[in-house]
């Protein structure tokens, strides 16, 4: 049901302090995260091998974590290294350790075969540099399965309706035009122009407008990769109206008036609950000129994500009521179907190998 050999977002870096263990469930497996003295993160199964008490209610001690029931202490590899009142420790006294990697303000865990953990397939693109972008970070818990959220993010036609008054700015172009979609090895690429849309000032608060002298209508370029297991790397640019047509609706080659980046990750908690982590922000050069821009944009985006949450949770509820009813496909489902076939292929390849 879940792909295992991939990196799942387990937490935002800021959530994991130097001293407190953090409990997180990823693909139905409870984990405890903690930091070693040098700050590097550790992920272990959240279950003491003695009497199964969660380690997440234990205590960080140096590079290890102590279960605060009978005091067993586990190192970062999951080996029990201390049993109070007992000198010998059997080799079987251990808990599973998961590969964990921290980058760009995110903590990623590898839920499959540890030997196959490969940082080259981390969804964060190598070109991403925190210095270039003024990112803000957040997370939403959803009472909905992760596939419904992946579906939502692979088809932005919903913007016209779910986000009618926020991201869509009252326009239906998102639903009335189709994006370019191409297949990638581990996902899909979605690209489109929304031409001649309202100025950015109309969907951002007035004092957050990055270009007060911008023309009254703008062309918006939206391009994202949606990658296994549910990570979206999205760049949005605003250009003077007419740019999209001049570029023959291909990727812009000129400097935008405004650009922002979004990195979003959907992590299954259980089969019907998920966490949606997100980070987004404009270019740092823009916020140096307009200091309020990043937080205003972030607040606007959080409102929009709440609209998604309400819709997808209501959809999940109806799927419970009508578990056997078929879904009917429309043209806008192309990205959704391509992405689910990538997920299916990787699940099939994994088979029982984990
Ligand atoms: S349950 Fe952890 S030490 Fe006993
Ligand atoms: Fe949405």
Please work out whether the CB of residue 72 comes within 6 Å of at least one atom of ligand 1. yes
Determine the 3-state secondary structure of 95 from DSSP: coil
Summarize pLDDT for 217-271 with one digit per residue, the tens: 889 999 999 999 999 999 999 999 999 999 999 999 999 999 999 999 999 999 9
Q: Is-contact 157 175, C-beta < 8 A? A: yes
* Residues constituting the chain: 354
Question: Which residues contact residue 182 at a Cβ distance below 8 angstroms, ignoring those fewer than 6 apart?
Answer: 188, 189
Interval between CA 85 and ligand 1 midpoint (Å): 13
Interval between CA 53 and ligand 1 midpoint (Å): 6
Q: Strand pairing of 106-110 and 7-12?
A: antiparallel
Determine the 3-state secondary structure of 305 from DSSP: helix
Q: Is the dihedral of CA 290, 291, 296, 297 positive or negative?
A: positive
* Class of residue 38 by CB neighbours under 10 A (exposed 0-12, middle 13-18, buried 19+): exposed
The protein residue whose alpha carbon is closest to atom 1 in ligand 1 is: 51
Banded pLDDT at 212 (limits 50, 70, 90): low
- Please give the structure tokens belonging to residue 88: 């010998």
- Locate the ligand 1 atom nearest the alpha carbon of residue 51 and give its number: 1
- Locate the ligand 1 atom nearest the alpha carbon of residue 58 and give its number: 2
- Please give the structure tokens belonging to residue 162: 């779910």
- pLDDT over threshold 50, residue 354: no
If we measure between CA atoms, which residue out of 51, 48, 13, 45 comes closest to residue 26? 45
Please work out whether the CB of residue 65 comes within 6 Å of at least one atom of ligand 1. no
Q: Strand pairing of 80-82 and 97-98?
A: unpaired
Amino acid 201: pLDDT:
58
Please work out whether the CB of residue 50 comes within 6 Å of at least one atom of ligand 1. yes
Can you give the pTM of this predicted structure? Answer: 0.93
Question: Which residues contact residue 167 at a Cβ distance below 8 angstroms, ignoring those fewer than 6 apart?
Answer: 159, 203, 304
Cβ atoms within 10 Å, residue 6:
27
**CA distance linking residue 58 with residue 348, whole number of Å:** 38
Determine the 3-state secondary structure of 280 from DSSP: strand
Amino acid 215: pLDDT:
57
Please work out whether the CB of residue 59 comes within 6 Å of at least one atom of ligand 1. no
- pLDDT over threshold 80, residue 152: yes
* Class of residue 191 by CB neighbours under 10 A (exposed 0-12, middle 13-18, buried 19+): middle
């Amino acid at each position: 049901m879940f792909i295992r050999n991939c990196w799942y977002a387990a937490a935002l870096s800021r959530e994991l302090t130097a001293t407190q263990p953090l409990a997180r469930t990823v693909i139905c497996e409870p984990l405890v995260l903690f930091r070693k003295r040098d700050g590097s993160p550790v992920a272990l199964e959240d279950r003491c091998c003695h009497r199964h008490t969660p380690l997440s209610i234990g205590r960080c001690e140096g590079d290890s974590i102590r279960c605060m029931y009978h005091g067993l202490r586990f190192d970062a590899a999951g080996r029990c290294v201390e049993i109070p009142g007992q000198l010998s420790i059997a080799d079987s006294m251990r808990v599973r350790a998961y590969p964990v990697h921290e980058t760009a303000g995110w903590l990623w865990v590898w839920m499959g075969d540890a030997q196959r953990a490969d940082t080259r397939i981390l969804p964060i693109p190598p070109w991403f540099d925190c210095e270039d972008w003024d990112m803000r970070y957040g997370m939403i818990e959803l009472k909905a399965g992760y596939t419904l959220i992946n579906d939502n993010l692979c088809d932005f036609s919903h913007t016209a309706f779910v986000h009618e008054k926020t991201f869509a700015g009252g326009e239906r172009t998102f639903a009335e035009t189709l994006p370019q979609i191409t297949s990638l090895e581990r996902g899909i690429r979605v690209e489109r122009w929304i031409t001649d849309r309202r100025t950015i000032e109309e969907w951002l608060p007035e004092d957050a407008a990055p270009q007060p002298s911008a023309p009254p209508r703008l062309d918006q370029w939206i391009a994202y990769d949606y990658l296994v297991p549910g990570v979206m790397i999205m760049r949005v640019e605003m250009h003077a109206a007419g740019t999209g047509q001049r570029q023959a609706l291909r990727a812009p080659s000129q400097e935008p008036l405004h650009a922002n980046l979004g990195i979003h990750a959907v992590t299954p908690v259980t089969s019907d609950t998920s966490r949606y982590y997100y980070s987004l922000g404009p270019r740092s050069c823009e916020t140096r000129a307009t200091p309020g821009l990043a937080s205003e944009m972030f607040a606007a985006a959080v409102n929009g994500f709440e609209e998604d949450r309400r819709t997808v949770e209501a959809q999940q509820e109806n799927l419970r009521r009508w578990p056997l009813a078929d879904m009917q496909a429309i043209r806008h489902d192309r990205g959704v179907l391509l992405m689910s076939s990538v997920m299916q292929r990787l699940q099939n390849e994994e088979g029982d190998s984990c």
